[in-house]
């Protein structure tokens, strides 16, 4: 077990996190870099990919993190195999990072309030596919990203943290996506830290951050 130094002289067990990916894995890489800091309260102990060719698997390999490919097509089969792999590694919390499959309700319930996702919009606006395209079509002045606890309804669930970025004249989907992605890479480590520090309490549909001002769940100036 690796220990994280929370305060000089006090070492606490780090939260063992499993990350589920399907593709590029840039958010996985951001989490790997955060976990490389001695004082960070979480460690990634398993990466599961739903696709054998996911580029993100190389990030796990480079960081010597065990990985597994779970490619079962049906929801229940995928959930059972993923759940077994996570429990076999003693995983305590699961982070979805560009994971493109819908999880079955039993999996979501089994990991309730220990299962988080990042989505490239300011939820509850623009859930689902192509959120950047949706933001451009709606003409919003700000968009951003959200880390939230997962619930059975896709891209819904109590919000842990958000970062806002401007939508600029001349943006197309790719430019806006890149600006949001830079914010995602800072927001996800911040949100996972709050979870690992056991600071999050779900009250109804909302997350209360213990002993903190609301600002802990906001990433201000994400592009600075
Ligand atoms: C990110 O924009 C994430 O918010 C969304 O899918 C994208 C995944 O990117 N869910 P990456 O695989 O982490 O690079």
The answer to whether residue 219 scores a pLDDT higher than 90 is: no
pLDDT range class, residue 6, cuts 50, 70, 90: very low
In whole angstroms, give the CA distance from residue 94 to residue 82: 11
Least reliable range by pLDDT among 49-53, 125-129, 211-215: 211-215
**118 CA: nearest ligand 1 atom:** 4
DSSP single-letter state for residue 212: S
Please write the tens of the pLDDT for every residue from 91-137: 999 999 999 999 999 999 999 999 999 999 999 999 999 999 999 99
Report d(CA 153, CA 173) in Å as an integer. Answer: 25
C-alpha to C-alpha distance for 30 and 20, rounded to whole angstroms? 14
The C-alpha atoms of residue 35 and residue 60 are separated, in whole angstroms, by: 12
Cβ(181) to ligand 1 under 6 A? yes
Per-residue pLDDT at 213 exceeds 90? no
> pTM of the full predicted structure?
0.93
- pLDDT per residue over 72-96, tens digit each? 989 999 999 999 999 999 999 999 9
Question: Can you tell me the mean pLDDT for 28-40?
Answer: 97
Q: Which of 120, 135, 144, 183 to mutate to test the pocket of ligand 1 (most atoms within 8 A of CB)?
A: 120
What pLDDT, in 10s, does the model give residues 195-205? 999 999 999 99
How far away, in angstroms, is 184 Cα from ligand 1 center? 8
Residue nearest to ligand 1 atom 6, measured at CA? 98
Active site residues: 119
The pLDDT tens digits of the residues spanning 156-175 come to: 999 999 999 999 999 999 99
Q: Can you list the domains of the chain with their CATH numbers?
A: 15-218 (3.40.50.170)
- Ligand 1 pocket residue status of 131, Cβ below 6 Å: no
DSSP string for 45-103: EEEEESSTT-TTHHHHHHTT--EEE---SSHHHHHHHHHHHHHHTT--EEEESS--SPP
Q: What is the mean pLDDT of residues 144-148?
A: 98
Residue 1 has pLDDT above 50, yes or no: no
According to the model, what pLDDT value does residue 98 have? 97
Closest to 223 (Cα-Cα) out of 187, 188, 191: 187
Share of the chain above pLDDT 70, in %: 93
pLDDT band at residue 218 using 50, 70 and 90 as cut-offs = confident
The pLDDT assigned to 42 comes to 98
Mean pLDDT of the residues in the chain: 93
The model's confidence at residue 223, banded by pLDDT at 50, 70 and 90, is confident
Give the residue, out of 19, 47, 118, 127, with the most ligand 1 atoms within 8 A of its beta carbon, to mutate for a pocket test. Answer: 118
């Amino acid at each position: 077990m690796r220990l994280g130094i929370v305060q000089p002289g006090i070492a606490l067990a780090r939260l063992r996190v499993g990350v589920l990916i399907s593709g590029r894995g840039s958010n996985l890489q951001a989490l790997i870099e955060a976990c490389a800091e001695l004082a960070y309260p979480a460690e990634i102990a398993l990466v599961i990919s739903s696709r054998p060719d996911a580029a993100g698997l190389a990030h796990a390999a480079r960081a010597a993190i065990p990985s597994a490919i779970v490619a079962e097509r049906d929801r229940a089969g995928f959930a059972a195999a993923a759940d077994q792999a996570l429990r076999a590694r003693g995983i305590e919390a699961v982070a979805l990072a560009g994971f493109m499959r819908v999880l079955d309700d039993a999996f979501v319930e089994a990991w309730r309030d220990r299962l988080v996702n990042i989505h490239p919009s300011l939820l509850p606006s623009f859930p689902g596919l192509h959120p950047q395209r949706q933001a451009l079509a709606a003409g919003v002045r700000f968009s951003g990203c959200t880390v939230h606890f997962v619930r059975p309804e896709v891209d819904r669930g109590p919000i842990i943290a958000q970062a806002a970025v401007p939508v600029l004249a001349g943006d197309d989907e790719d430019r806006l996506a890149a600006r949001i992605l830079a914010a995602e890479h800072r927001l996800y480590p911040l949100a996972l830290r709050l979870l690992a520090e056991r600071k999050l309490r779900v009250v109804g549909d909302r997350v209360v951050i213990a002993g903190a001002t609301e600002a802990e769940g906001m990433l201000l100036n994400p592009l600075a």
